[in-house]
Amino acid sequence: MHAVLRQKLQIHSALDVDDIAALNKLPYQGRDLADGEDAICQGDRPNSSILVIEGMVGRYHSLADGHRQFISFHITGDLPDAQALFIAEMDHSIRAMGAAKIALIPHEAILALFVRRPAVGLAIWRETLLDAAIFRSTITNNSARPPLARAAHFFCEQYYRARARFGRRSGVGICYLPLSQAQLGDTLGMSIVTVNRTLQQLRRTGAMDWTEGSLQVKNWSKLATIGEFDPSYLHLRAPRRL
Amino acid sequence: MHAVLRQKLQIHSALDVDDIAALNKLPYQGRDLADGEDAICQGDRPNSSILVIEGMVGRYHSLADGHRQFISFHITGDLPDAQALFIAEMDHSIRAMGAAKIALIPHEAILALFVRRPAVGLAIWRETLLDAAIFRSTITNNSARPPLARAAHFFCEQYYRARARFGRRSGVGICYLPLSQAQLGDTLGMSIVTVNRTLQQLRRTGAMDWTEGSLQVKNWSKLATIGEFDPSYLHLRAPRRL
DNA sequence: CGGAAATTTGACAACCTTCAAGAGGAGTGG
DNA sequence: CCACTCCTCTTGAAGGTTGTCAAATTTCCG
């Protein structure tokens, strides 16, 4: 758990020995989630934050008519609800996509850490800002791009983020993405039928395939072109030193 | 300028005398923006943050085909690019909607403030998380709701936020919202023609009218019902003390 | 007053959603 | 071991909605 968080923060932020020592003392509680199990529900008032250890979790809004809208997906090292640190009541839920392992870290421990080790606080703040940048991109993707480009952009982002996190360990051109087509529809704002036909179209281009919860990128540059994908919004380059 | 920022932060966060004294010493530079003028452009590497003093500014993405997608709008007291504090390169632009006044606060001054006055840092962090909550809501609005509800929800949010900021000062049921229909289309992901017809439909319900850059809410509960508007995601209630 | 921009209206084609049904797999219970 | 059910994916067809194209009207500004 501590290693996962440390590695994630160090991608972006410079932490000194004392910062890391403090990180390593964070208390936490591990938890295994079954596929589809909720970690937090809309309306909850959580007093701990989630760190994804293994697998994938998804944020979603529940609408009055029972409809569900997925907002974002998170992998190892992500803190999907640092968002909730200063917010009393959850405005969305977080569930496991496929089986997943998470760690729960008490809010109080994180807040106490900020006081003693500001650099750690700033590193976590930065994580929440990167999340926000991804949200902005999602607004544009779902609002302005037609189905084919929209789906392609989504796959590009998931692949790019997985690659940034795991390197080539996940296999050449392969990325874990355990959604159903219906869930992809609830992510991109398209009907199941349109999702299905759009996927067929994507497959025919030869740029990628997506079966059994696994995304296979066969021609990255073609996929990125179709999806108008420019990864600069993910801000994965090293930032200024603090 | 200092009063605007102080009032805004104190809506959510408890600041003591020393915090406020430090806030009041923040250096800044005022700037007037003409309608449509950019404050920051996509790709810039700004070294100061924007505080909206008067009027309205809008964030937007520029797409390769010249198309523009508006992400969010900001009024007096908002810090539309606190988002950029820890991010090297802007992934979006910010422009004035109508004439506006902003203040530019050097990043270094803000960062230095965090070290001396952590409570101020946490208050600004909180602002960025509220922004993120609005982004999430926008994803759902633009992806899952049909035109009529989508537009109604958008107007509800703008009105509710203006009311939270200005109280009834802006006039009974009135709220400043200087967009063109084309810009509303670029916000909601709809064509101009659909925007126009959706607005006519909204007017016919008697819930609201929107002309000459001014939103008039005639029947709030009806408008909120049409837009399925639940303001809890704006988190305007007092949060836990830090 | 004249020209540009914004709003409004109409018509049509294209696209997407909905409805419906069938095929393929996984898991369960007899 | 097989039958059954449930779920996902796939395909077809019909209908509605939205976008595009085009043009008229109004408003805004110089």
Residue A34, CB, strand C, below 7 Å: no
The answer on pLDDT for B19 being more than 80 is yes
The answer on pLDDT for A241 being more than 50 is no
Structure confidence by residue, pLDDT tens digits, B69-79: 999 999 999 99
Residue A212 vs residue B168, higher pLDDT? A212
* B45 has a chain A CB within 8 A of its CB: no
Strands (DSSP E) contained in chain A are 29-33, 38-40, 48-62, 68-74, 93-106, 174-176, 208-211, 214-217
The answer on pLDDT for A242 being more than 80 is no
Confidence band for B239, pLDDT divided at 50, 70 and 90:
very low
The answer on pLDDT for A217 being more than 70 is yes
DSSP string, chain B: -HHHHHHHHHHH----HHHHHHHTT---EEEEE-TT-EEE-TT---SEEEEEEEEEEEEEEEPTTS-EEEEEEE-TT--TTGGGTT-SS-SSEEEEEEEEEEEEEEHHHHHHHHHH-HHHHHHHHHHHHHHHHHHHHHHHHHHHS-HHHHHHHHHHHHHHHHHHHHGGGG-TTEEE----HHHHHHHHT--HHHHHHHHHHHHHHTSEEEETTEEEES-HHHHHHHTT--GGGG--S-----
The answer on pLDDT for B242 being more than 60 is no
Rg (CA), chain A: 18
Give the C-alpha separation, A9 to A127, whole Å.
Answer: 8
pLDDT value of position B169 = 67
Mean pLDDT of chain B: 92
**For A70 and C15, how far is CA from C1' in angstroms?**
24
For a pLDDT cut of 90, what percent of chain B falls above it?
A: 79
pLDDT value of position A1 = 86
The answer on pLDDT for A240 being more than 80 is no
pLDDT value of position A180 = 95
pLDDT value of position B170 = 63
Structure confidence by residue, pLDDT tens digits, B25-56: 999 999 999 999 999 999 999 999 999 999 99
Contacts of A126 in chain B (CB under 8 A): 86-87
Mean pLDDT of chain A: 91
Mutate which of A62, A79, A125, A225 to test chain B, going by most B C-beta atoms within 10 A?
A: A125
Contacts of A139 in chain B (CB under 8 A): 69, 71, 135, 138-139, 142
- Please check whether residue B82 is in contact with residue B49, taking contact to mean a CB–CB distance below 8 angstroms: yes
| Stretch B189-203: mean pLDDT | 96
pLDDT value of position B167 = 79
Residue B192, CB, strand C, below 7 Å: yes
Structure confidence by residue, pLDDT tens digits, A67-87: 999 999 999 999 998 888 888
- Closest CA to the C1' of C5: that residue is B180
Confidence band for A170, pLDDT divided at 50, 70 and 90:
low
The answer on pLDDT for B238 being more than 60 is no
